[in-house]
Every structure is written in C-alpha cells, then in structure tokens.
Amino acid sequence: MKQLLISFIIYSVVVLAVAKDYNGYKVYDLSPTKEQIPFVMEWEFQTGIDFWSYGRANKAFRIMVSPEIESNFVNFLDKNEINYSIGIENVETTLKSDKITKRSLRLVNGIPNFNYYWSYPEMEEIFNRLATDYPNLVKLEVIGKSYLNQSIYGVRVSKNQEFGLNPIIFIDAGTHAREWAGIQSAFYFLHQLVENSTIHNDLLDNVDYVFVPVVNPDGFQYSFTEDRLWRKNRHYVNYTCTGIDLNRNYRYMWRYVANSCSGNGYPGVSALSEPETAAVAKYMESFKNNLRLYLSTHTYGGLVLWPFGFAMDIYIKNHKEHQKLGEKFANAISVATGTEYEVGNSADILYTAYGASDDFAIAYGGADFAYTLELPGGGPNGFDYPQDMIHDLVKETFIGYREFSLFIKERFKTVQ
C-alpha cells in the first residue's frame, strides 16, 4: 500500500510537472526531390524547427514547426515548390494521451514492469537491484556525471570473473532524451541476459556485454517531467539556449556549426565538450582491445544504419559484412512479427552527420562492427510509443539483438 501511495505521488508529480506547451506547433510532412533535400537540411539549425525523422526516397521528412516560424517556413516551401502536407495539426493533442496514462505500477521493489516507462530514479533502482541480486554476473559502475551531476551508469555483464576476455558488445541508448523506447529496449536486453541467464546461456557463452542504457539522464528526466519532446542534454549555453546534441559531439569528424545553439542538432563548441559524451567515449575506449560490436539505440525510423555517416560514399571497409549482419537483425524481426527495417549506410539512407557515436566507435573505440538502430515509431507522434505496446516492441527488438550476439560469438570464436 505504501509502495502504491509513493508511486501515486510520483505519478502526480510527473503529470503536474509537464510544463512545455506544444499548442499551435504543427508537424509538416515534406516530400522534397533529391535536389531539394540540401535546401530542406539548411533548416535543421533554425530555432523553432525540429526534424523528427529525416526523409529519403519514398519517405517523407517529418518536421515540427513552432507557430512563430510557421509562415516563414511555408513561404520557403512554396517558393521552392516543395511538396508537403500537414501531418499533425496540433502537437499538444498528441501528448495529452500519454499524460493521463497511469504510472502507478511501473516498478515495484526495483523489478521493472515493461508495460510502463520509468523515471530516471526508478531506473537507478533497477541498476542497483541487478548489481545486488546478481553479483557474479553484473558489475555496475558510475562512468561519469552528467552536466546536472546525475550519475551515468555502465553495466558489465559476463559469466567470467575476468571481464573482457571474450569479444565485447557495447550497447547504449538514451543519447537523445525523448527516445524512450530505445532505452526500454536496451534495458530489456540487459534484463533478459541477467534475469533469464539460464534461458539465454547461449548469448553469454563467449561474449561479454557492456550497457550504458541512459547516456543522457538530464535530458531524459527533463523529457519525463517537463518537455516530452526534448532531444539534447541540459547544458545551459546562454539565456536563449540550452542543450547540445550528444550524437553530434563525438570526436571523430566533429564539426563546429556556428550560431546554431538553438537548433536541435547543435554539436557544441568542441568535440567531447559534454560530460556525457566524454564519459561514454572514455568508457568505450577502455574496452577497445576487445570491442567487437557497438550498438547505439535510437528512435524512430525502422532503420539499421552502418558507418560512416560523416560523408557520402565513404564506407567502412567491411561494409558488405555490415550489410549482411544488419539484414540478419532485420530478417529475424520481420519473420517473427512482420515489422520491417531498412538496412544500409547512414549517409546513403538518411543524411550526413558529423560527430556521431557509431563513427567514433569504429575510429577510436576499436569496434569491428557498429550500428545505429532506429527502432520503429509508435503513438501519435512517433516518439510516444504507447505504453501498452512497449512490451511487444522490446521483445521484438530482443529477437534482433540475439542475432547480433550469435554472430559476434561465431565470428570471433577463439580457436581452442
């Protein structure tokens, strides 16, 4: 009863604290031609513009536009004869449904219920319980502190006393605050490996794991209580602007973009300037001698993307193997549930982006394979995967994760 009461209080706080109002914000679905795409991309750093998903052939760009900038934006579309339609008339209405969802059963005694989203303090309870209950399998460590001084956790999972003798798979999520479904899927993978270790013994034989399920705890918690659609970290830059896009802040091919702090893709003033990226980078580099696969989990888009992302037509040298392994992930999920993923080079499929974590994992982390996963979208706005469907999504994603593990185990098998 006491537990329920506490949960109810937390729930009430969450509901009341959601402050950002998206009344009047619209989502435009654009279908530019290939030639028009660079013009559209120039809006990425504009205040009041938020790219929700990036277009490509037969796939529309989804862009949220604030009321302040809407008439300029529509003028631009008309002047350049770019086809568009309005996908969401009022973004605020898509957020209402989540706010009234009951959150009272999402966690009891640190045991996660995958039918709900959890707050960051609740996730910390999960980490601590796993470390306490499974000391022979789990090593929990604080790998750094966020801008607002919250702990960022790394979780190692291995059957061996000595970690890292096996090939290592490094999984992170929650780089972008609002991408909650990615965080849940990383937690589910961790949960299955640890709490159902006898069932998944095959995944723990000869493979070691490192998880950083929430790279950006400040941003996540802010999206949980204040602004559901927040993407960046919570670094205060100046009175008009807060936040660095952590997935543009890694060291490899980092680029400065002037006067863009208020945009959602702002890379910061220098590579690894943010405590969150610095912590993940240092942690990842500590495993570089045996890091075989890096997976960065995001939402949304239904994509399996491999490096490099910083330029067109520069592929990682084992790109054919990357494509094949990506297809293994996609096919396993397609056969199991019918969900379709597209697999390919990130610059080809999406757009070029400097300073992303998967490029870093190859260039500095010593990884042989690296992917950015964009899980499927869900809910009225894509980021808002409904809580009653989240369990199915994380189970489905786990089917794909399994394929990655089995491949790495076989590919890097040490000859006895």
List residues binding Zn ion (CB under 5 A): 176, 179, 298
Q: Which is nearer to Zn ion, 167 or 174 (CB)?
A: 174
26 versus 298: smaller Cβ distance to Zn ion: 298
What CA–CA distance (Å, rounded) separates 114 from 14? 18
Q: Are 397 and 188 in contact (CB under 8 A)?
A: yes
For residue 372, the minimal CB distance to Zn ion (Å) is 8
**Residues in contact with 288: Cβ distance below 8 Å, sequence separation at least 6, in sequence order:** 364, 365, 366
CB nearer Zn ion, residue 189 or residue 407: 189
Closest separation in Å from C-beta 175 to Zn ion: 6
Closer residue to Zn ion in complex, CB, 103/235: 235
Phi-psi region for residue 415, left (φ > 0), alpha (ψ -120 to 50) or beta?
beta
Pick between residue 235 and residue 248 the one whose CB is nearest to Zn ion. 248
- Sheet arrangement for strand 138-145: 138-145, 151-157, 208-212, 168-173, 291-299, 369-375, 303-306, 342-345
Tell me the closest approach of the beta carbon of residue 64 to Zn ion, in angstroms.
15
CA distance 170 to 190: 11
Give the pair of three-digit tokens for residue 252: 């490899």
Structure tokens at 340: 């379709």
Shortest reach from residue 215's CB to Zn ion, in Å: 10
**Could you give the CA distance from residue 164 to residue 290 in angstroms, rounded to a whole number?**
7
Q: Smallest distance, Å, CB 179 to Zn ion?
A: 5
Q: Which amino acid is at 335?
A: V
Beta carbon of residue 416, minimum distance to Zn ion (angstroms, whole number) = 41
| Residue (242 or 357) nearer to Zn ion, CB | 357
Q: Report, as residue numbers or ranges, the catalytic residues.
A: 374
Please say which residue, 176 or 248, places its beta carbon nearer to Zn ion: 176
Residue reference for tokens 């660095």: 244
Question: What is the DSSP pairing of strand 208-212 with strand 151-157?
Answer: antiparallel
Residue at token pair 């006898």? 198
Evaluate the omega torsion of the peptide bond into residue 300 and state whether it is cis, within 30 degrees of 0: yes
Contact between 178 and 228 (Cβ < 8 Å): yes
d(CA 126, CA 117): 13
Determine the Cα angle at 27 with ends 35 and 330, to 5°. 70
DSSP strand pairing (61-65 vs 168-173): unpaired
- 8 A C-beta contact, residue 299 and residue 383: yes
| The pairing of beta strand 236-238 with beta strand 241-242 | antiparallel
Reduce the DSSP state of residue 111 to 3 states and report it.
strand
Q: Provide the minimum distance between the beta carbon of 350 and Zn ion in the complex, in angstroms, as a whole number.
A: 11
